[in-house]
Amino acid sequence: MSKPATMRRMPLIAHVDVNCFYASAERSFDPSLEGKPVVVLSNNDGCAVTRSPEAKALGIPLGEPWFKLAPRAKEWGLVALSSNYELYGDISARVMELLGRYSAWLEVYSIDEAFLGVKGTPDELLALGRTMKTAVRRNVGVPVCVGIAATKTLAKLANKWAKNNPAFDGVCHWDSVAPADRESLMGRLSVIEIWGVATRLTKRLNVLGIHSILDLSRADPVMIRDRFSVVMMRTVLELQGTPCIPMEEERIGRDQLIFSRSFATSITTAAGMRQVLSVYGQQASARLAKHGLQAKVLTAFAGTSHFNPKDTSYPSVCVPLPMPTADPVLLTRAAHTLLPHISEGVRYARAGIMVTDLRPTGNQAPLALFENPHEERRVGTLLDDVTRRYGRGSIGLGHAGIRGGPDWTMKRDMLSPRYTTHWDELPLVKAA
């Protein structure tokens, strides 16, 4: 007798992610951090984006600004580190390579998370989860948890449960848990814990009397689609065990590139803004060239601080480029069209540019008439070109070209070594 369809073993989703990834990555190379409260700071040493369990236990909220933490760091024994993306990127690649050995169906979802298509009996799945967890710990040195369920949304929820409940030992197979326990969990957790639901949607759901994940899982998907969106309907169906969010193919290329920074000291003059926009133009050019892409549209923007609600100003311009280009001269010129919208004396806390409508270089067959005279030149020539056109100091690699300009460079005062990617920063191992 064949099993009913619902009993047949369908492929499931395993969600694997690294516990407090940046802090764990730092720890894997500096064992002296073990057991200490550690936070990793955002760009500019702005705020705590990752906390070790000890830092969480101190009650440090996610996103807490460093200037509020700094005065108490010593008393807490708190270690703060600037984010070291080179290190994290390298560790991430090693984790993903390892996970790829356990399933050919791997979707790298973010720097520290992956979904894997998996099959097997409940016992086999639990064993697979434990194997992956142990392997990553042993081979890469960072802790992961695993959630396994019929849908991505439930797999992420199972993972969160595994992280927060030591009884799981880091691996939760949703369907192996007693239904009453699952309902109890879903009844206790707010909808804001679900993937895809944040503060705005939580408020709107609450108005309808939907507070817990259990409430949402019992809502009528069609009503949810009508009152919210297909996205939220998919979430409801996924909570009910119906897969709606498919595994994705690896994306090649991007739809947009953004270059944007907050300034260590705000910019108050058009001249200062011109310099910053020039650097972004050059960076955009270099990145587009690296990916073999050209842009058709450039948006430039600036803004005052969100944290100072008076005299706010968020000027922006959207510039269609005359032809798809990665040329720093054209990009910089387009970025400079923001300048007439910049008011002297206004304190701009950040600025940036975004290039969109990207396409592979050389995909079009341009008429010679419209060819860009700068397109064929080499980078060195291009930099000379920009400097000649816009004046010394208008552009440069990093901040080298804007000496004497405002201090808008990134603050990274507590950077750890790039242990794995730079020979001169390799960790030293002392044999006993």
Residue 216 and residue 201: Cα distance in Å, rounded?
A: 12
308-367 residues near DNA, rule: CB under 7 A: 308, 318, 349-350, 352
Query: Residue written as tokens 């580190």?
Result: 81
Cβ pair 366, 323 in contact under 8 A: yes
Does residue number 273 form part of the binding site for DNA (CB under 7 A)? no
Residue 287 and residue 16: Cα distance in Å, rounded?
A: 30
**Interacting residue with DNA among 240, 269, 305, 409 (CB under 7 A):** 305
Does residue number 286 form part of the binding site for DNA (CB under 7 A)? no
Does residue number 200 form part of the binding site for DNA (CB under 7 A)? yes
Task: Choose the binding region for DNA from 52-60, 251-259, 364-372, 424-432 (rule: CB under 7 A).
Answer: 251-259
Task: Choose the binding region for DNA from 119-127, 259-267, 326-334, 384-392 (rule: CB under 7 A).
Answer: 259-267
**Interacting residue with DNA among 199, 428, 431, 432 (CB under 7 A):** 199
- Cβ neighbours of residue 7 under 8 Å, at least 6 residues apart? none
Cβ pair 38, 24 in contact under 8 A: no
Residue 106 and residue 13: Cα distance in Å, rounded?
A: 10
Of 3, 92, 20, 98, the closest CA to residue 60 belongs to 20
Does residue number 423 form part of the binding site for DNA (CB under 7 A)? no
CB of 8 to DNA, least distance (A): 29
Residue 82 and residue 133: Cα distance in Å, rounded?
A: 27
Does residue number 196 form part of the binding site for DNA (CB under 7 A)? yes
Extract the runs of DSSP E, i.e. beta strands, from 69-111. Answer: 79-82, 106-110
Residue 272, class by beta-carbon neighbours within 10 Å (0-12 exposed, 13-18 middle, 19+ buried)? buried
Amino acid present at 405: G
Does residue number 229 form part of the binding site for DNA (CB under 7 A)? yes
Nearer to DNA, 305 or 387 (CB): 305
How many residues sit in the footprint of DNA (CB under 7 A)?
Answer: 45
Does residue number 246 form part of the binding site for DNA (CB under 7 A)? no
Of 150, 119, 121, the closest CA to residue 240 belongs to 150
Nearer to DNA, 287 or 377 (CB): 287
Task: Choose the binding region for DNA from 31-39, 200-208, 328-336, 370-378 (rule: CB under 7 A).
Answer: 200-208
Chain residues binding DNA by CB under 7 A are 42-44, 46-47, 49, 63, 65, 67, 109-113, 156, 194-202, 229-231, 251, 254-262, 305, 307-308, 318, 349-350, 352, 410
